[in-house]
A = this chain, B = another copy of it.
């Protein structure tokens, strides 16, 4: 009976030495457990997504060198690793995205990816030629149908690809399916993955070993949760989420026995690529549902942690305004990096409310992180004095508001530059959507923690953070949101109520609904048009924003590519 192990690891893109060392460690573990075959995740040798590094021949050579190095470690255990493979044909792209079976010091078989995701954050056809030949790979008397991530997502009534590689492979009578993945997290996606694996199992009547990656790569979080299903369609093993894990499964007769109930499966097709909630009454409940918020929290912690460790930094700084966004960011950063590694800077102005500093101080005392209080009056006044000859008698306006915000951004960057911090950005998705923020001011920072989290979700995160005891002072949660850049300013002066705003944004951004479809949900037409116009005319601002930890099905950044000079819905 085959013993198969899954190694769910966190790789670092391009860090070949670290990645192979990590994989060799797993091989040792597998040897000790008497494993026959050890499975790693997609592009495990170089980390996923390697992006344009793949265009460098030197990078490909290092991938091949990694294969050579791992080959030598396979005397006792066969391994399946992900790495690019050169296309020996002259026609087409130069590379395949491949899964390599290495054993007894040799390459025993290679499977190439057929379905190349090229949407949202994925660019695979930018680099890879799709497979056009399929074969099963024999291993110790069994025939393996080996596929890569998206390859098993081409089922359903309305598939994104013309070819489903398992339809080809099943003709060759395989005994089991192995899929190696780098399948990113979003809070609307985890159940899909199980459903897809199970649908393949029931359709092809074969057990499946599904090995996913974990760890965060700049903006994309891989949440692990690798799976083993027996041929009857029952979940046999589920690996941990948001962390590395290792598991062994013995492929006994039970694993190959078919006959599970052939249940109705949700469609697995293009529809899976947009968020699912259509009913406007249910959107906010969905966005703030407890299980979604808990997952978002874990993803953000991992996203911060890995960004810092992979960039070689350990200390974060951020502006703590006494508002909900910075409070939630600070709490999550303290969880990710340790409170002593996170410096909060309170920068009151004459427009700051009396509570702002007190609330921010109380928050940092609860968290135990260091903080400074640095008033911005001197800097702000110096800007006004310097600009007086140019501004003349022009009335106070957006320019003056932005000067305050940029003064804060500069103070934070100065301290970051002086002492080696990375500035965490605290802007939320509702603000970024509508352009309610100042470039180089509150939009400054190296990593956007809440940039994929709507304001209503920020509140839900605050409640989650306070679930055991009050970490975020209740006053921060209760007060009306304000940028505090002019007297008695409130977000609601410039923006619709967040409950309404977030509903419209979700329909437009996550679900790609147009103006008419959103109006048809019963939302006021001028309001819908105003919001969509705000989103589209602020593309230029978001274009200069830092990477955002992606938690939804559609985050700003690499996964959403809009023309800047476009004139649509504006």
Contact = CB atoms under 8 A, between A and B. Distances in A.
Interface string A541-570: 001111100000000001011111111110
A12 B565 contact: yes
Contact of A563 (B53, B376, B399): B53
A398 to B, nearest CB: 6
Interface string A283-316: 0000000000000000000000011001100000
Given A56-B512, A563-B53, A411 B397 contact: no
A51 B561 contact: yes
A537 to B, nearest CB: 9
A75 interface: no
A446 B414 contact: no
B160 A93 contact: yes
A235 interface: no
Contacts of A132: 162
Contacts of A379: 379, 382-383, 386
Interface stretch (A76-84, A118-126, A223-231, A255-263): A118-126
A15 interface: yes
A561 B123 contact: yes
Nearest to A381: B382
Interface string A360-381: 0000000000001011101101
> What bracket does the count of chain A residues touching chain B fall in?
35 or more
A439 interface: yes
A351 interface: no
Given A56-B514, A92-B160, A410-B410, A374 B390 contact: yes
Interface stretch (A1-9, A20-28, A400-408): A400-408
A281 interface: no
A137 B162 CA distance: 26
21 contacts: A13-B563, A15-B566, A52-B561, A56-B512, A59-B568, A90-B159, A118-B118, A118-B126, A132-B162, A310-B565, A372-B390, A374-B386, A374-B390, A381-B382, A382-B383, A390-B418, A391-B414, A397-B417, A410-B410, A543-B547, A544-B544
Given A132-B162, A306-B565, A394-B418, 14 more contacts: A15-B567, A58-B517, A90-B159, A93-B160, A94-B270, A123-B126, A126-B561, A311-B565, A374-B386, A382-B382, A406-B413, A406-B414, A543-B546, A543-B547
Interface of A: 12-15, 18, 47, 49-53, 55-59, 61, 90-94, 116, 118-119, 123, 125-126, 129, 132, 157-162, 217-218, 270, 306-307, 310-311, 372, 374-376, 378-379, 381-383, 385-387, 389-391, 394, 397-399, 402-403, 406-407, 409-411, 413-415, 417-418, 439-440, 444, 446, 512, 514-517, 540, 543-547, 558, 560-569
The 10 closest A-B pairs by CB, nearest first: A58-B514, A14-B568, A382-B382, A310-B565, A399-B417, A440-B440, A399-B418, A15-B567, A13-B566, A125-B125
